[in-house]
Amino acid sequence: MSFLDKIKSGSELTVTTYGPSRQNDEELQTLVNELSLHYGIEDFAPILFTLVKDLILNGYKANFKRIFFLEKRLNIDSPGEYEIGIRQFKSLMQQGKTSTYDEKAKSQGFFVELSVKHSSDEIFAQVSNNNPLAVGEMAKIKHSLFHSQNYNDIMEYYIERGDNSEGEGIGIALCVILLKGEGLPTNGFQIKSQNGQTIASLRIPLAPLRSQN
């Protein structure tokens, strides 16, 4: 059944992937475009794509990080070993040397799943990866969620709040700032760790978006 058929029937949309690719981007773009067209929020489609793609990329990164730590035999839950490993991992990403990690993720069963529940009232998108948050990661996430509420510009956040040790919290701040820019409640964006998974969710009410058209 195609995305359009599922959208028309009100069925949940699900996509499971293991790493970034042009094909995955195109599939996500199709899902977002058809969903946005169906619910009359076409102008929001680029924002929705950016939000969901960022959460998916965060999921890939979390899985690749776990694989890297396993390969280096570093304990991801040890604060000392985590700081050593994460700097090495970030260097690996900056050098573009994670291109084989999608195949590693697939062979080791590390996936990222997008599920989208939808109705005329709201879109609820959830991105999960089957890795729990490491010790200390939730504190960084809460820090980014809290402080990003005070910003309307992503570069301003980066300059003032960037954490050079890992990711700068930019993905989280970007989601919050984009939601604020569209007049949407930011408390609908949540990240949690449960049952061995990390789950990021977006609850997007459609009425404020339709009123803008």
Least confident of 39-43, 147-151, 178-182, 201-205: 147-151
CA–CA distance, 213 with 37 (Å, rounded to integer): 13
Q: For 96-115, what is the mean pLDDT?
A: 93
CA–CA distance, 54 with 46 (Å, rounded to integer): 12
Domains and CATH numbers, the chain: 3-206 (3.30.565.10)
pLDDT in the model for residue 213: 59
pLDDT in the model for residue 197: 94
pLDDT band at 96 (very low <50, low <70, confident <90, very high): confident
pLDDT digit string (tens) for 136-163? 788 888 888 888 888 888 888 888 776 5
Concatenating the DSSP letter of every residue in 176-195 gives HHHHHHTT--GGGEEEEEET
Quote the percentage of the chain above a pLDDT of 90.
67
If one compares 76 and 165, the residue with the highest pLDDT of the two is 76
Question: How many CA atoms does the CB half-sphere of 73 hold within 13 Å?
Answer: 0
pLDDT in the model for residue 161: 73
pLDDT band at 167 (very low <50, low <70, confident <90, very high): low
pLDDT in the model for residue 49: 98
Contact 169, 58 (CB under 8 A): no
Q: Check pLDDT > 90 for residue 73.
A: yes
If one compares 170 and 57, the residue with the highest pLDDT of the two is 57
Q: Check pLDDT > 90 for residue 93.
A: no
- Report residue 55 as tokens: 């959460």
pLDDT in the model for residue 164: 52
Q: For 187-191, what is the mean pLDDT?
A: 94
pLDDT digit string (tens) for 8-25? 999 999 999 999 999 999
Q: Check pLDDT > 60 for residue 100.
A: yes
Mean pLDDT of the chain: 91
